[in-house]
Each structure stands twice: as C-alpha cells, then as structure tokens.
Structure 1
Amino acid sequence: MRDTRTEILSLTDGRELRVTVAEPDGTARGGLVVLHEALGVTDTVRLLVGTLAAEGWLVAAPHLYEEADELPADAVRERLDTLSGEAALADVDVACVWLAQRGITADRIGVIGFDLGGTAALVVATRRALGAAVSVAGGGILSPLAEGLPALVEVAGELSCPWLGIYGDKDEAVSVEEVEKLREAAAAAPVATDVVRFADANHRFDTDHQAAAEAWQRTLNWFDSHLR
C-alpha cells in the first residue's frame, strides 16, 4: 500500500474540495477516481486508494461530503438526502482535472466506487467521457438511493464507457432480482458491460475472502483491459 495524503483544492465557485490522493512509484499506468462509501472517506477507502496506487495507478478520491471524513452511521441518511448527481459530477470533474494536470488523458482515467460510490460511479459513467468504470455493491437500482440521484436501471443504457458491476448475492440491501434487472438495462448500452455476482459474498465482501480476492482481480483486469 502506498501512503495517502489529502489535498484541498479551490473551486471556481469559491468552494473548497478535499481530495485524498496517492501516487505510484515511477510512471503511472493511468488514473483512477475513487468514489467513497455512504459513511464517507473511511480508513477502508484510504486503504483502497493506497492499494490501487501500489498497483501503478495515480489515484484521487474526492470527498463528496463537506463534513468530517467519516460520518457517524446515524447521520448518513440525512447527508445522502442532500447529495445530488450534479454535485457528485462536479467533484469528479475536479478530480479528473487533478489527474489531467499530471499527464493522464481522459481515455486513461477510470472511476470506481463502493456502496454509494458504486451508484455514483455508474451515473458518472453515463455523463462523462472516461475510459472505464467499476461499481461494487452500488444500490439504488430500481428506486433512487437519494433524491438527487437517478435509479440505475433508468440510466444504465446510457453508459458511455465500459462498465463492470460487482455484487454479492447475500447483500441485504440489493436483491438478486434487482441486480439482474440492472444487468439487462446495462446490456442495452453501446459499450462493453458486465455484471458479476458472487453467491456467498455480502455487501462488504467480508464473508467470503475468495470472492473478495476474485472481485479485486476482476477490477484490476477491467481497468488493465480498457485504460490503454
């Protein structure tokens, strides 16, 4: 794992955006934007950022919440209700500018998210010209996860870059039937899409270590294949 740091970037509207970043040794193979889970930028998110950097990627994780890095569980619902798709897109745009300033072109930038971030990653992949996207346990498939976000089945057919969805069948928040409807909707997109289900994995992929390892490798392979 590579060390991470948090930078504060000034935006054109006067706001400031915190971005947790990590850099690889040597020349980056490309850039990844990491979108955090509903709890915010947790230690797990920082671990993901650092681990992806160790794999050779230049990584930027925008803080979609303005509050402290990690929200208490009882504050998540209230904060989700204030999150809009446009705000998430704007924050991703800033992260992409940060990557571009370091020589990473749009076709070599991917987006990956878990939980809330997985939902946002799919939405971003329908609205921005990027190289590839991965969603892990992204909810809000049939009905919006938050008022400012669309239901994923309504927009999946508009994917503009290769997208991989990863889900566990034992996820209590997302049913197998929902995942299959998302697979069908994504298949209508004019780009490569894939949905992978793991029978014994839960929402956080911490009940089946073999599934977690395979999901990680599939993620790396997806970006290796499409970010060239």
Structure 2
Amino acid sequence: MTSTTTVDHQRTDGHSVRLTFAEPEGALRGGLIVLHEGHGVTDGVLLLVKSLAGEGWLTVTPHLAGDEGLTRQDLLDATDLTLEWLLDHGVDADLRGVVGFDLGGTAALLVASHRKLGAAVSVGGQAVAELPRLVAIAGRVTSPWLGMFGDAGDAVGEAEVEQLREAAATAKVATNVVHYPGANHRFDADPEAAQEAWQRTLDWFDAHLR
C-alpha cells in the first residue's frame, strides 16, 4: 500500500494548512479530500487516505482543530486551501471531491453546501440534538452528496435519517441518503455495513468525478 507524506501548504497571503496525502501508483483519476474525525489524523484516517489513493485518487487530509475548537469558517478555509493544493497538483475542479467520517461526515455535508465540488460523501454524523442544523444544510447542498447513517448508540435514528433524505431531495443536485440499521456513527460495529458503505463511496465518486 502506498505511503503518506505530510507537508505545510502556505499561500503568499500567509494562510497555511498542514496536509497529509497519498499519491496513486498508477494513473491519476482525480483528487479527494478526507475530513477527519474529532480525534485528528488517526491511524484509521491514514488507512482511509492510503486506501483511496490505491483506487487511483490523489487523497489528502487537512489537519483540523478538534470538535471543540473547529468553527465553520476554519473548516471552509482549510478546505479551500486543500482544494487549491489539489489544483496545484494537476487535479481539475470537476475532479475534486470530499469525504468525511464521524465528525468529518458532518463537515463534508457542510462543505458540500458551501462549495461546488464534483461530489461529496458523508459517513456517520452528529447526534439527534444536532439534526435540525443538518437538515437545514442538506437542502442547500451544491455538490452531489451521498449521506450514509447508522442508528446505533449516539448515531442518527431512522426517523431523523428520513428527515435528512427528504431535505436533501429538495436540493438542485443529485443526492442519496442511506440508512444502516444497527450500525453506529463510525460504522465499525457492523463490518458488513462498513463494506457496503465503502463500495457505495467508491461508486459515488466513480459516477460523479469524470
């Protein structure tokens, strides 16, 4: 499996972001941004970055503040810098996508509603108390968005997933919201659901990043 590299990307205006990325060994299909969970760039995040690179994507994760200190503007600024980095590395605008798991799943939905990308994927998300905000965002997505949610533990429940599905259906881009009964917000409690979600993620990017 390909290795990862960490760099500090800085613009001439002084804005910077730390990035960890992995390059595909074969032909470059496009670029993907991985928005990490609340614990930062963990071994699981690095595995995801390398696995997506193995599918032909230049894959990069910006190092973001934890869930206690990350603001919407921080997230969007870091994403913009990372999108710029991908463009500098030969990835055209319509071949750039974003994917997030856990806290990153919510972040990916936020980015998909504020930036026009080729595709976006959210796996997992916030608890029920946060859902009204997510429902409002889902109806405003400007990037084709796939959302996948479990309902175990502190994950989003079935009724709330249906609300997200209905809201996303009002968007002017392609959307799909999938419910996985028994899966938690990280999907690691249900390997079968995790495998299916992985394949759905690959298929979504295959369909929209071309």
TM-score after normalising by structure 1: 0.86
Q: Following the alignment from structure 2 to structure 1, what is the Cα–Cα distance between the partners of residues 168 and 124?
A: 15
- Quote the residue 1:135 is aligned against: 122
CA shift for structure 1 position 106? 1.2
Between the aligned residues of both structures, percent identity stands at 56
Q: Following the alignment from structure 1 to structure 2, what is the Cα–Cα distance between the partners of residues 173 and 125?
A: 21
Matches within 5 A, 1:1-228: 1-12=1-12, 14-65=14-65, 79-139=66-126, 143=130, 151-228=133-210
- Quote the residue 1:75 is aligned against: none
Q: For the Cα contact (< 8 Å) 1:41–1:63, is it kept in 2?
A: yes
- Quote the residue 1:73 is aligned against: none
Q: Secondary structure at the match of 1:83?
A: coil
Q: Following the alignment from structure 1 to structure 2, what is the Cα–Cα distance between the partners of residues 205 and 133?
A: 18
CA shift for structure 1 position 26? 2.4
Q: Following the alignment from structure 1 to structure 2, what is the Cα–Cα distance between the partners of residues 141 and 191?
A: 25
Q: Following the alignment from structure 2 to structure 1, what is the Cα–Cα distance between the partners of residues 138 and 207?
A: 21
Q: Following the alignment from structure 2 to structure 1, what is the Cα–Cα distance between the partners of residues 59 and 140?
A: 25
State the one-letter code of the partner of 2:90. G
Task: State the Cα deviation string for residues 32-59 of structure 1 (Å, max 9, x = none).
Answer: 0000001111110000000000010001
Distance 1:141 1:207, change over 3 A: closer
Query: Which shows bigger deviation, 102-111 or 198-207?
Result: 198-207
5+ residue gaps in structure 1? 66-78, 145-149
CA shift for structure 1 position 201? 1.7
CA shift for structure 1 position 210? 1.4
Distance 1:180 1:219, change over 3 A: same
| Structural RMSD (CA) | 1.7
Q: Secondary structure at the match of 2:172?
A: coil
Q: For the Cα contact (< 8 Å) 2:99–2:121, is it kept in 1?
A: yes
Distance 1:161 1:141, change over 3 A: farther
Q: Following the alignment from structure 1 to structure 2, what is the Cα–Cα distance between the partners of residues 109 and 129?
A: 10
Q: Following the alignment from structure 1 to structure 2, what is the Cα–Cα distance between the partners of residues 176 and 32?
A: 29
CA shift for structure 1 position 203? 2.0
Q: For the Cα contact (< 8 Å) 2:150–2:157, is it kept in 1?
A: no
Distance 1:91 1:170, change over 3 A: same
Distance 1:143 1:172, change over 3 A: closer
TM-score after normalising by structure 2: 0.93
Q: For the Cα contact (< 8 Å) 2:19–2:61, is it kept in 1?
A: yes
CA shift for structure 1 position 13? 5.1
CA shift for structure 1 position 141? 6.3
Q: Secondary structure at the match of 2:130?
A: coil
Q: For the Cα contact (< 8 Å) 2:143–2:173, is it kept in 1?
A: yes
